[in-house]
Structure 1
Amino acid sequence: MNVIQEINNVNDKFATQGSKLKIEKRGEKLNIRGSLPSKEDNNNFKIQRISLGLKADISGLEEAKKKLQLINLQLELNQFDWINWIGKPYKKEKKDGFEFPKRLNQFEEFFFKENKSDFRTSTRKTTWRSSYKPYMKRILNIYNDYENAALEKIFQKTLESYKEGTRSRKQCATSLSVLAKFLDIKLPEDWKLNSRGYGLNKAGFRDLPKDELIEKLWERIPNESWKFVFGLMATYGLRNHEVFFCDLSSLTNFGDKIIRVLPTTKTGEHQVWPFHPEWVEKFELSKLGDNPELLPNINKDLKVTTLQNIGKKITDQFKRYSLQIKPYDLRHAWAVRTIFYDLPDTVAARMMGHSVSLHTQTYHHWITKRDQQQAVNNALLKVKRVKNI
């Protein structure tokens, strides 16, 4: 018998009776989810979940129905109290000898104590929010769903909850590796193999903007300040927020046009060369050498904002001007451009502020094509020399 279908049938019956709650299957367990009184204020209702600790099978479903009937009755009589539903069914915090949720909190504290040389704590907060917090939340949810599984299995299930070949899966693997080291947990030997992700999907191979399109989109932007932002990202392959944290003094008419990304950014200080060099003139970037204030006037104080929030402002502007592409498309296009300029991958990776391994993974498609083309050219050259002998 299909448990999911049976759950849907039960929920439909309760819905016809006016119930705002439903039974849901999460992993191997059953929960009740819906509008319930806030734990802080009984008069304030919000969507919440009650973990029943029941196995997701027909027997467990029968028990869940009784629980749902009881909760609905308590709500109707204004007798619902969280104290009756928290504690007993949740009492599984200890696993493998320690409290996992508590250890996750300790890991977060450890994360912010480490790398004290970070230029600003705001950078660290941005990294936690984007690169760690989503995966800590996911592993805690999976931990709660699989109460009898070993922690190594919890790590594996968390990784496998993200689709293969995605950036999220790759980042999940990286973040959980750091957590595992903190918890002294040995990950499976094939962890790295199973973590493959990142890169660009097949659609990305097709959809990266051509140089001609980039130039046309630049011309379409009505606001001069945001044209400078677009031009910098296209010419130097910058991340969104990096545009506002660069030393642009070399862009003057007599400068070398090599800009310096400041250490306040996500991956620290690095220098970047223009590709194409002629775009510095095309996009009028030389004006920024003497007048960097020509860029949009936004709040860059990292005491009150974050790099993520700053980057989002650029994403919002791309949508506002209906530019057909995403800001990061300009960065990817820059990277591919350097490949066909025959810039060494190690140098390009350094300019982009990431590792060589990440660079080769992400742009493997184009790097392979370049190397194969060079091999073909060399072979053709040898044949030509032989014929001329």
Structure 2
Amino acid sequence: MRVRLQVLNQKLYARGTFPPAPGSTKEAPHQQRIALGLPANPRGLSLAEEQAKAIGVALEAGRFDWGPYRGDRAETVGDWVERFKRRWRGAPITWKTDYQQPFNKLPLDAPLTVALLEQTAENKTEEDSRSRLRACNAYRQLAEFAGLPVEGFAQLKGSYSAAAVDPRSLPTDEQIAGWRGTIAEPGWRWLFGMLATYGLRPHEVYTADLADFPTVRVHEDTKTGSRFVWPLYPEWSTNWELDDVTMPPLENIAGASNAQLGTKTARAFNRLGFCHAYDLRHCFARRCLEFGYSPEFGAKLMGHSPETHCKVYRRWIDEGTYWAIYQAGVNRGDRPQPPSC
């Protein structure tokens, strides 16, 4: 049986059709990788070719054994996570939310196997959820880094995507202004006004810089880094006195993670009963369109790409909004006129 060599992360692997590895849920031989523990240099390649030949002979003779490649030599989940982290490149907040949180669900002292990763994703996250997608993406990358097969994660991750969320009816700006006026607690009233006026993500409001008010500057330790935001409507920022910062009555705000702040805010909005916290952000996206701003400009204010702005946020905008914009355009006195016959 043919065994090929493969290079991943400057390490050499043997790839071929092998019997199921210990702990695997599969019963039949299938394509897998074997970590040879050799560097991808001339000396390592020479040794790897010898090992690949030996593996091929063992497979042909029906006496292949996973022992030398797993067994006592199998490294723990914690070992692989630490090695993966040293190789990984990206923003600290991305590591914390997209990798560290899924890795925290794993038993760090257990041997790393595909079965363990798949079972953890299946048992500790909800089907077709954002957390399932995030876990499968992180576990797939860890498995690939360790030379393990990753084919099963494609189906396990489910069908969740931000763009697949069904649009719901967003509140009107009249409703938003009215609701804010009924909030008795000053901190939550201020936060509600900030989310509505600036379209911030819920966690961003807690560290927002208002030194250049009415311009608001978002701290760099957020999902997409630092940015500036201008108010829509400007009147809301001044009439509601949003420069008078009044934080909600929450404990340990300074020590909470972005995810924890988002969860606390979502729970508070559930108690208020008006709308979801993120609805106010979607309404800001709608307002960008109503003000005639380009997708690039709206995306800049909201802290994401123009592609995300068009693909995700405009799904929340109903036909009536587009019709109003169309009417405003065709009724402009300086609009282009049709050619005369």
Q: Give the match for residue 314 of structure 1.
A: 265
Listed one character per residue, the Cα deviations across residues 229-276 of structure 1 (whole Å, up to 9, x for unaligned) are: 01111111111111111111122xxxxx22110112233211122222
Alpha-carbon contact 1:200-1:363 (below 8 Å) kept: no
What is aligned with 2:296? Answer: 346
Report the residue type matching 1:299 in the other structure.
N
CA distance, structure 1, for counterparts of residue 216 and residue 172 of structure 2: 23
**Residue type at the aligned position of 1:340:** E
Per the alignment, do residues 175 and 282 of structure 1 end up closer, same or farther by CA in structure 2, a change over 3 Å counting? Answer: farther
Distance 1:106 1:273, change over 3 A: farther
In 2, Cα distance between the equivalents of 1:182 and 1:370?
49
- Deviation readout 1:23-45 (Å, 9 max, x if unpaired): xxxxxxxxxxxxxxxxxxxxxxx
Determine which structure has the larger helix proportion and give its number.
Answer: 1
Match of 2:281, as an amino acid? R
Residue type of the alignment partner of 1:262:
H
Deviation readout 1:287-331 (Å, 9 max, x if unpaired): 33xxx3x223642334xx3222222222232233x3331111111
Contact 2:207 2:218 in 1 (8 A): yes
Paired position in structure 2 for 1:299: 252
Once residues 220 and 378 of structure 1 are traced to their aligned partners in structure 2, the CA distance between those partners, rounded to angstroms, is: 33
Q: Which amino acid aligns with 1:280?
A: S
Show the counterpart of 1:86: none
Q: Which residue number in structure 1 is paired with residue 223 of structure 2?
A: 266
Quick check: 361-370 or 262-271, which moved more? Answer: 361-370
The verdict on how the C-alpha distance between 1:306 and 1:224 changes in structure 2, with shifts beyond 3 A counting, is same
Match of 1:218 in 2: 180
Cα distance in 1 between the residues matched to 2:144 and 2:114: 19
Pick from 348, 352, 363 the counterpart of residue 313 of structure 2.
363
1:25-73 per-residue CA deviation (whole Å, 9 max, x = no partner) reads xxxxxxxxxxxxxxxxxxxxxxxxxx9x899xxxxxxxxxxxxxxxxxx
The answer to whether structure 1 residue 109 and structure 2 residue 82 are counterparts is yes
Would you say the 8 A contact 1:261–1:270 is kept in 2? yes
Residue number in structure 2 paired with 1:34? none
- Aligned-pair Cα RMSD in Å: 5.0
**2:284 is aligned with 1:334:** yes
The CA distance in 2 between the partners of 1:268 and 1:283, in whole Å, is 27
Q: CA–CA distance in 2 between the matches of 1:172 and 1:187?
A: 13
Change (3 A) 1:199 1:301: same
* Displacement after TM superposition at 1:103 (Å): 6.2
Residues 107, 179 of structure 1: 8 Å contact kept: yes
CA distance in 1, matches of 2:225, 2:149: 31
Determine if the alignment matches structure 1 residue 199 to structure 2 residue 163.
yes
Distance 1:277 1:360 in 2: 24
Tell me, in whole angstroms, the C-alpha distance in 1 between the residues paired with 2:240 and 2:328: 37
Letter matched to residue 201 of structure 1: V
Q: 1:180 to 1:378 in 2, by over 3 A?
A: farther
Which whole-Å CA distance do the structure 1 matches of 2:179 and 2:113 have between them?
43
Ranges in structure 2 where 5+ consecutive residues have no aligned partner: 1-22, 28-65
Is 1:283 the counterpart of 2:234 in the alignment?
A: no
Matched residue SS, 2:168: helix
- C-alpha displacement of 1:221: 0.7
Superposed CA deviations along residues 177-227 of structure 1, whole A, max 9, x for unmatched, are: 644653457877xx69x867212533xx23222212211211121011211
Q: Is the 8 A contact 1:339 1:370 kept in 2?
A: no
1:129-144 to 2 correspondence within 5 Å? 143=115
Aligned-pair CA distance for 1:174: 4.6
Task: Please say if residues 214 and 234 of structure 1, whose CA atoms lie closer than 8 Å, have aligned partners that are also in contact.
Answer: yes
Compared CA separation, residues 339 and 376, structure 1 to 2 (3 A) = closer
Residues 127 and 266 in structure 1, CA contact (< 8 A), matched pair in contact too = no
TM-score, normalization: structure 1?
A: 0.52
One-letter code aligned to 1:217:
W
How many residues of Structure 1 are paired with residues of Structure 2 in the alignment?
267
CA distance in 1, matches of 2:113, 2:99: 18
Q: 1:236, 1:334 within 8 Å by CA — same for their partners in 2?
A: yes
On the 8 A contact 2:77/2:106 being kept in 1, the answer is: no
SS of alignment partner, residue 292 of structure 2: coil
How many angstroms does 1:336 deviate by? Answer: 2.6
Give the distance between the partners of 1:200 and 1:129, measured in 2 at CA.
Answer: 25
Distance 1:357 1:134, change over 3 A: farther
Instruction: Map 1:123-202 onto structure 2 (within 5 A).
Output: 124-128=95-99, 143=115, 167=130, 171=134, 174-175=137-138, 178-179=141-142, 182-183=145-146, 197-199=161-163, 201-202=165-166
